[in-house]
Amino acid sequence: MTATEARPGETTRAAPVLNFEDVVLGFDGVTALNGVTFQVDPGELFAVIGPNGAGKTSIFNVLSGVYRPQRGTVRFGDEDLIGRRPHTIARLGIARTFQNIELFSNLTVLDNLMLGRHLHHPYGVLAALGWIGKARRNELANREAVEEIVDFLELAQWRRLPVGLLPYGVQKRVELGRALASQPKLLLLDEPVAGMNLEETEDMARFILDIRDELGLPMVMVEHDMGLVMDLADRIMVIDFGRPIRTGTPKEVATDPDVVRAYLGEEHRVVERS
């Protein structure tokens, strides 16, 4: 697999993978998203940043079908995502991780990853009861694919443990693995390094880079760790109060006076890092 080279700013862009257009989402009196528009290009790592409550996770929940916006269009390839139920969106090839880990904590790492492959090599209830022929073949095929993820994310030593017993950083990694196991066409990462120490953050950054380089997978990432975002992202969208302030390369965003005022603080400078 090769990474699709489509750098932002170029005049000839490939068709975007994801088209999020003028989305408005409100809960009674509160407006969570107020006209958010962005595109994600093939192979791109697109980051969304903003203060707490700015609507970052709401974008993800619209994308994965948990919330239904009042206005706007969301297109993934040729498919319209609005009004679809989450499991049919997963079927289109969108996988996500959650801000607060949403693993199946009673199940082992292997079972969690196998669940990531729920839609691959499916078989029915009757086949499952017999565990012969198709069911067995498909289970073995999925197991083989899962072991590749185990290798890729260096999870071998925890394979058989229930994820509830694992350290926080490893759980985050298992969740990433579960999303990857579904062989998605778009990966949504909701704060992949939230609450991690430096070492764990660096591990995660390495995995994210590996995913981009080896799989060429377009990603949307919500993150508070500015250093990580500036280092990894191709383009960044800054939102505040459900409204996009600026979208651009890390350099453009970091020097934008509106962004600096709204989010980074008056005195903050991160330009040197990129």
Which residues in this chain contact other proteins in the complex, by CB under 8 A? Answer: 64-66, 85-87, 89-91, 95-96, 98, 102-107, 111, 114-116, 118-119, 122-123, 125, 127-131, 135-136, 138-140, 142-144, 147, 178-179, 182
Q: How many helices (H) and strands (E) does the chain have?
A: 10, 10
Closest distance of CB 86 from other proteins, Å: 4
Q: Which of 244, 245, 239, 270 shows the shortest CA–CA distance to 255?
A: 270
Closest distance of CB 146 from other proteins, Å: 9
Distance between start and end Cα atoms, the chain: 28
Q: Which is nearer to other proteins, 94 or 245 (CB)?
A: 94
Closest distance of CB 117 from other proteins, Å: 8
Q: Which is nearer to other proteins, 88 or 274 (CB)?
A: 88
C-alpha–C-alpha distance, residues 182 and 117, integer Å = 5
SS3 content of the chain, % helix, strand, coil (to 5): 40, 20, 40
C-alpha–C-alpha distance, residues 112 and 159, integer Å = 10
Q: Which is nearer to other proteins, 73 or 138 (CB)?
A: 138
Closest distance of CB 179 from other proteins, Å: 8
Q: Which is nearer to other proteins, 56 or 246 (CB)?
A: 56
Q: Which is nearer to other proteins, 15 or 141 (CB)?
A: 141
- Amino acid (1-letter code) at residue 89: I
Closest distance of CB 76 from other proteins, Å: 14
Q: Which is nearer to other proteins, 67 or 207 (CB)?
A: 67
Instruction: Enter the tokens of residue 127.
Output: 């086949």
Sequence-distant (6+) residues with CB within 8 A of 231 are 205, 273, 274
Closest distance of CB 119 from other proteins, Å: 4
CB-based contact 180:94 (threshold 8 Å): no
Sequence-distant (6+) residues with CB within 8 A of 167 are none
CB-based contact 13:41 (threshold 8 Å): yes
